[in-house]
Amino acid sequence: MVASRILAACLAVAYGIAQPTAVGLAAQTTTAPRTTFWLSRTASQGALVIGQVPDGAIALTLDGKAVPFESDGYFVVAFDRDAGPASTLAARLRDGRTVEQAITVTPFKWALSYVNAPMTGGAKTEAELAARRPAELERIGAARAIQTGSKGWRQDMIWPLQYWKVGGRISGLFGRQRFYQGKPGAPHGGLDIAAASGTTFVAPADGVVVLAAKDAPFTLEGHLLIIDHGNGLNSAFLHCSQLLVEEGQAVKQGQAIGKVGATGRAEGAHLHWGLRWRDARVDPLRLVPKPAPAKKR
């Protein structure tokens, strides 16, 4: 009961950060000439931001690294779970001028989390994990590097699993420092949604499947599915019991793509939804609407 109250408080804090609730293009309605940047939300650790460049921009960078943008000026950037306190957006204009905007990245106080699952996950020993892991990481890295041209990043994301409708719950929050049976591990890189094994989940936005580990589950991720939403943004779904799509397949928002499981390093049946923009880990909870309240009987 105490743990539930603590988790509920954490959820309230997470939702309180998201401003506005919709991160997609519906938030931008002005048609006035843009002399500076428009940004969909305040930057913070773990946040995804949709933006629009000033009129006349021909190139864009974030901290000196090139960022693509669409013909209508829209782009997406994100700030990692451990991002520093400041970043700089810079747009080079057609007339040779440069418009810069300093961004303050709000820090977040990450909590601790204790998981009753072995560090080695699906591997029987640490030696087996060490032997198998490099090839898995290479495959994940290669998948995330694929540029499919998807426009899913422009959509307001939906829940891949409406847990409140299937008797599930949020069982793990993004960013928490994790301990596996007492051993410290990496910070939690996604949102965990506990639900019965075999529960179907859907695509949170349009995209293209760039990795589908159907046959051989990965040591830690189990049956892993990665969907590219375009411009460096991708979703990863871990611990699945079954994958319903194939590599190279285009998927639509709301399309069934897999089923909840407990493969890999998992304490119980749940869906781990991880989001990344390039190397930046993003909190999915800030990109979806609040769950609909339960109807009174």
Q: Please tell me the predicted confidence (pLDDT) of residue 179.
A: 73
Q: Rounding to the nearest 10 degrees, give the CA dihedral for residues 228, 231, 232, 233.
A: -50
* Residue 147 sits in the same domain as residue 273: yes
* Residue 95 sits in the same domain as residue 33: yes
pLDDT tens, position by position, for the chain (297 residues)? Answer: 334 444 444 444 443 333 333 456 555 555 678 899 999 999 999 999 999 999 999 999 999 999 999 999 999 999 999 999 999 999 999 999 999 999 999 998 887 777 777 767 787 888 988 999 999 999 999 999 999 999 999 999 999 999 999 999 999 999 887 677 777 777 889 999 999 999 999 999 999 999 999 999 999 999 999 999 999 999 999 999 999 999 999 999 999 999 999 999 898 999 999 999 999 999 999 999 988 665 554
Q: How far apart are CA 40 and CA 19, in angstroms?
A: 8
Instruction: Kindly report the pTM of this predicted structure.
Output: 0.86
Q: Please tell me the predicted confidence (pLDDT) of residue 20.
A: 33
* Residue 27 sits in the same domain as residue 127: no
Q: Please tell me the predicted confidence (pLDDT) of residue 17.
A: 32
Q: How far apart are CA 201 and CA 244, in angstroms?
A: 10
Structural domain includes residue 296: no
Q: Please tell me the predicted confidence (pLDDT) of residue 11.
A: 45
Domain end, chosen from 61, 83, 104, is at 104
Q: Please tell me the predicted confidence (pLDDT) of residue 26.
A: 53
* Residue 86 sits in the same domain as residue 172: no
* Residue 38 sits in the same domain as residue 153: no
Supply 152's token pair.
């899913």
Which alpha helices (DSSP H) does the chain contain, by range?
2-17, 126-144
Q: How far is CA 156 from the centre of its chain?
A: 13
Find the domain containing 99 and state its range.
2-104
* Residue 62 sits in the same domain as residue 136: no
Q: Tell me the CATH number at 22.
A: 2.60.40
Phi then psi for 12, rounded to 5 degrees?
-65, -40
DSSP letter for each residue of 61-90? EETTEE----TTSEEEEE--TT--SEEEEE
Report the number of secondary-structure helices (H) and strands (E) in the chain: 2, 21
Q: Please tell me the predicted confidence (pLDDT) of residue 48.
A: 97
Q: How far is CA 61 from the centre of its chain?
A: 22
Residue 235 is classified by DSSP as E
Domain end, chosen from 75, 104, 133, is at 104
* Residue 214 sits in the same domain as residue 125: yes
